Structure 1
Amino acid sequence: MLHKIVATKHEEILRINLASLPKREVPVYPFAKALKQSSLTIIAECKKGSPSGGVIRPDYSPVEIAKQYEISGASAISVLTDENYFFGSVSHLRDVSRAVKIPVIRKDFILHESQIEEAYANGASAILLIVRILEKSRLEELYLYAKKLGLGVLVETHNQTEVETSLSFGMDVIGINTRDLDTFQIHSGLVQEMADLIPKDLVRVAESGVHSYQDLIQYEGVVDSVLIGTYFMKQPNIASAYETLTKPNT
């Protein structure tokens, strides 16, 4: 599936017209700083569906969802922009970025500078770079390109080698995805194993697999932030779901 997604992405990149990109209308909100505001912050995700789960939220309204996230206390919002496999859109990124005043990250399979330009033009304050799908030199080039535009970067890893690659470039926000992108299976305990490899002065982010207060609280003191999507997307009331997830006995 991952190879299929990447192949499709290369085709999409050829269709990006930089000359037609909109003028950015919102400020760039500091991404790394936002994730260090408290002992355990949340990056809440707008995601209609996924290859493994299909359509998760049929009544998907990313702007309304994002507003509820912001009111509920999320430190940043992740927006899926992949159309073919995650039912997203760059327009969702643009609309959400205009609607909230916290950092919005473009979550996609980014392989080329034109995708970063597209993210910037449509209001993203940060982008996702996945170590698994990028050559080491390409990863560094895209990271530096995003930083040149003033954007934050969440660098996604899944094993020790990928963590070490990220650290070798001085990257400041490192995600540990418990979901294996080759199989889409969750590897429990992975965050605890990998987090010790990352210096505590950097921002460490746990990704995937949080569905309850107990899941969330296990990361207290282990990482700085947790990215959560599917749990919220399955709940009819976002605000209530946020409170249930973050407070015991509610």
Structure 2
Amino acid sequence: MHTASTVDRIVSGVLADVAKREAQLPFKEVKARSRDMGPTRDVRAALLRPGCGVIVEIKRTSPVFGPTGLSLSIADIARDIEAGGAHLIACQTERLRFDGSLTDMFAAREAVDLPMVCRDVIVDPYQIHEARCYGADMIPLQVGLMDQARLESLIDRIESLGMVCMAEVRTPEEADRALQAHASVIGVNSWTFDTNDLNREMFASIGPGLPTEVLRISLGGVRNARDVIGAASNGADAVLAAESVMSQPDIKAATMRLSAAGQHPACPSRS
């Protein structure tokens, strides 16, 4: 179980931050802007490309590893990730713990053709419309942070804007709830939300039990080619890597190593 005080503090901080932004740009206006955006990029097609796809997450810092020391612009990083063969790009936009921003995601999306995953703690409808305004194609929802009614409501809102929801789970019970909410993409996160502990067996314990029609993503703990192949052998359609790429001096080369592993014959393919 999450430590209530830690989770409550994170969520309340996010909501307070949202309230500040909403005071500057009312919900009605951001909602209208989001519905006027151009078409989203095809997340499902990207996830269904042959092999095990690699999603590289652009992030400036993290509570566990500290600053990543990015030396390139966000646009240049995104171009290196795309050139390295990634299937999607994720961008950390959470401000309070990761020093992320929606403008980073916008800059990344403008530089490449890959679909964009908005990595944030999304708990309010305002955030969904706001993310679409900045080019999000896929939005994560932390299943453990909300009741079932809110989960289903936010999934519907995400899909109504042409985006894809990734239901993030950390327990079999959360995976069951995601399936009950008709999530078509489930991300199994190996990091605990509150204590930032890593369980490298998390995907292996949950992923193989998910229905075959659900697209499955392994989040966290991907360090090398062996981790990519291991996740794929347990049914992952994609893995998300962050520090293992962001910490390298050559982001393109680091992405290429993981992407090549995703094309290894040991990685099953849906196609």
Please give the residue correspondences for 1:1-250 in structure 2 after superposition, counting only pairs within 5 Å: 1-15=6-20, 16=22, 17=25, 18=27, 19=29, 27-59=39-71, 61-222=73-234, 223-247=236-260
- State the alpha-carbon separation in 1 of the partners of residues 162 and 256 from structure 2: 33
Q: Amino acid of the residue matched to residue 149 of structure 1?
A: L
Aligned partner of 2:269 in structure 1 is none
Encode CA deviations 1:168-218: one digit per residue, 9 max, x unaligned.
121110000011112111102111110122111210000000111111111
Report the TM-score, using the length of structure 2 for normalisation. Answer: 0.86
Q: Amino acid of the residue matched to residue 250 of structure 2?
A: N
Q: Return structure 1 stretches of 4+ with deviation > 4 angstroms.
A: 20-26
- State the alpha-carbon separation in 1 of the partners of residues 84 and 140 from structure 2: 23
Alignment check: 8 A CA contact 2:39 2:162 kept: no
- State the alpha-carbon separation in 2 of the partners of residues 44 and 122 from structure 1: 18
Q: Amino acid of the residue matched to residue 220 of structure 1?
A: A
Q: How many residues align?
A: 248
Give the stretch that moved more between structures: 56-65 or 75-84: 56-65
- State the alpha-carbon separation in 2 of the partners of residues 110 and 230 from structure 1: 22
Displacement after TM superposition at 1:72 (Å) = 1.2
Alignment check: 8 A CA contact 1:78 1:105 kept: yes
Secondary structure of 2:96 counterpart = coil
Alignment check: 8 A CA contact 1:39 1:221 kept: no
Aligned partner of 2:265 in structure 1 is none
Secondary structure of 1:84 counterpart = helix
- The 1:58–1:95 alpha-carbon spacing in structure 2 relative to 1, beyond 3 Å, is closer
Report the TM-score, using the length of structure 1 for normalisation. Answer: 0.93
Secondary structure of 2:95 counterpart = coil
Displacement after TM superposition at 1:4 (Å) = 2.5
Alignment check: 8 A CA contact 1:32 1:172 kept: no
Displacement after TM superposition at 1:3 (Å) = 3.2
- The 1:20–1:28 alpha-carbon spacing in structure 2 relative to 1, beyond 3 Å, is closer
Alignment check: 8 A CA contact 2:85 2:259 kept: no
Let me know the Cα RMSD of the aligned residues: 1.7
Encode CA deviations 1:101-122: one digit per residue, 9 max, x unaligned.
1110111001111101101111
- The 1:246–1:77 alpha-carbon spacing in structure 2 relative to 1, beyond 3 Å, is closer
Displacement after TM superposition at 1:58 (Å) = 4.3
Alignment check: 8 A CA contact 2:43 2:164 kept: yes
Q: Amino acid of the residue matched to residue 229 of structure 1?
A: A
Secondary structure of 2:129 counterpart = helix
Flag structure 2 segments of 5+ consecutive residues without an equivalent.
1-5, 262-271
- The 1:20–1:147 alpha-carbon spacing in structure 2 relative to 1, beyond 3 Å, is closer
Q: Amino acid of the residue matched to residue 153 of structure 1?
A: C
